[in-house]
Chain A
């Protein structure tokens, strides 16, 4: 934990325990990135509208000697998308499009856009090998603008383009015989950004900002985030919500507290290749929170300041989306 002067505030947590199984509610999962509408109003969680235009990803198959290993990069990328598309309760109708030769990322309002996957693209970020990859998403600030696919945008926060660029200065391994960082581990994380997920403060999540050398399976936290952004019409697994408010002893709400539900049992309510993990969220400006996507189980709910290892800087867009300079961290960890 960081060294800081702690306000010896007593955090009051009021809990509304999970009862809303199978209930799909308007989403404010903190895992999403948010965009405040240009005309004002509540921030919208960024996400694609799969009914607006077909969403495909296009691979530039060129690669340098920095990528080694027995698998083709196309197979690695497909496996990374498959991981998310297999998530319980989520509907992600995204397909691989034709390969392209593009080496420039970005968006054009006049059209002809691709969601580029590139291993040879250059930019400021490629000057340091320690920057492994970046994902650039383009989002509409309001409805009615060109969506770059011949139509008009439908809502503020609509993702209309996403490009994933791997740094050609970094050494990646695609599998057997390769050397360097496991490509699929990085790709799986970046594909989470492709779908609009921000970083998670849950250590075992794929969307945690710091990854182990090899980890390609989603966690409960990742499933909660993706299934709230893109809910399947008929749920595979019954999931509920834990909600409540984080307050200082004086009564004021705590903005940006990291609140997570940790299972108190050894149960595995979500089967398959999903790793059990806490499920987190961030409190809103009034201190209220909703942890969505919670499978039936017994939980300890913890509210902690977001001061380390994940901090305000990792999710800076969250505070900005709510008109705040940063999340509040002047309180001590509490749990129930």
Chain B
């Protein structure tokens, strides 16, 4: 059976009811959440990301390339960023970030939850030296320390690391995590407060 349905804009009341249903359903679920299995992560607050990072920078991705490691077992993707501003630590005009996964030599390696950058993409990055000891950096918290910058049509600039606002249930108590989406100004303020001596 084929049913072609052209649907007029739903009545406001019906739309509201569905949205309320979805909102309540999701909220109830969040109340039970303990940790995130992405590749599996638990949320890290912005302040903690800032404390753990050697450098925090606002930067723009320039180009990416992937290659096998020295042992020819793991593929890593390297992305060169042009640094616009350092919020913590000293950073030169360019910085290279290493991530797990990528495509090289006819093979692709994937790690679910690891996001790659596209040239031109702006990010706020919380970084520390990578294990490669080749001058490249790694994102703190796998990908939690990578906030994508979005210039909204309203003129506001927002950032998000893709980890949603969740209320986690840990050790018998509900703990609210406030990270993820916020304005760039708010992120800058929170980082600034966290790294004050």
* Chain A interface (Cβ < 8 Å from any Cβ of B): 1-5, 10-17, 19, 33, 35, 38, 46, 104-109, 122-125, 127-142, 145, 181, 185-186, 189-190, 193, 198-199, 203-204, 209-213, 302, 304, 308-311, 313-314, 316-317, 320, 325, 332-336
Contact = CB atoms under 8 A, between A and B. Distances in A.
A11 B35 CA distance: 34
Given A131-B40, A145-B106, A12 B111 contact: no
A316 B115 contact: yes
Contact of B109 (A127, A128, A139): A139
A237 to B, nearest CB: 21
Interface string B76-116: 00000000000000000000001011010111111111011
B35 A136 contact: no
B142 A209 contact: no
10 contacts: A14-B3, A16-B1, A17-B2, A122-B131, A124-B131, A129-B42, A136-B110, A309-B30, A320-B116, A336-B7
B7 A309 contact: no
Central interface residue in A38, A131, A135, A181, by most chain B CB within 10 Å: A131
Interface in B1-16: 1-10, 15
Given A136-B74, A333-B19, A128 B142 contact: yes
B8 A123 contact: no
Interface string B122-150: 00000010110000001011111000100
Nearest to A249: B9
Given A1-B23, A132-B42, A135-B111, 15 more contacts: A10-B9, A16-B2, A35-B108, A46-B110, A108-B72, A134-B39, A141-B107, A186-B35, A203-B29, A204-B29, A210-B36, A210-B164, A309-B166, A325-B118, A333-B18
A134 B35 contact: no
A15 B7 CA distance: 11
Nearest to B156: A3
B163 to A, nearest CB: 9
A153 to B, nearest CB: 9
Interface in B149-163: 152-154, 158, 160, 162
Contacts of B105: 109
Nearest to A210: B36
A5 B153 contact: yes
A241 B120 CA distance: 40
Contacts of B24: none
A108 B109 CA distance: 12
Contacts of B152: 4-5
A219 B153 CA distance: 39
A199 B131 CA distance: 27
A85 to B, nearest CB: 19
A105 B73 contact: yes
B37 A189 contact: yes
Contacts of B34: 181, 211-213
A115 to B, nearest CB: 13
B108 A132 contact: no
A17 B41 CA distance: 38
Central interface residue in A19, A33, A132, A142, by most chain B CB within 10 Å: A132
Given A33-B112, A309-B164, A135 B39 contact: yes
Nearest to A139: B108
A215 to B, nearest CB: 9
Given A35-B108, A189-B40, A209-B36, A14 B4 contact: yes
A138 B100 contact: no
A138 B108 contact: yes
B110 A137 contact: yes
B162 A313 contact: yes
A336 B162 contact: no
A145 B164 CA distance: 40
A166 B6 CA distance: 49
A316 B38 CA distance: 13
A11 B6 CA distance: 9
Contacts of A33: 110, 112
B32 A212 contact: yes
A299 to B, nearest CB: 12
Contacts of A141: 103, 106-108
A167 to B, nearest CB: 8
A199 B33 contact: no
Contacts of A211: 33-37, 40
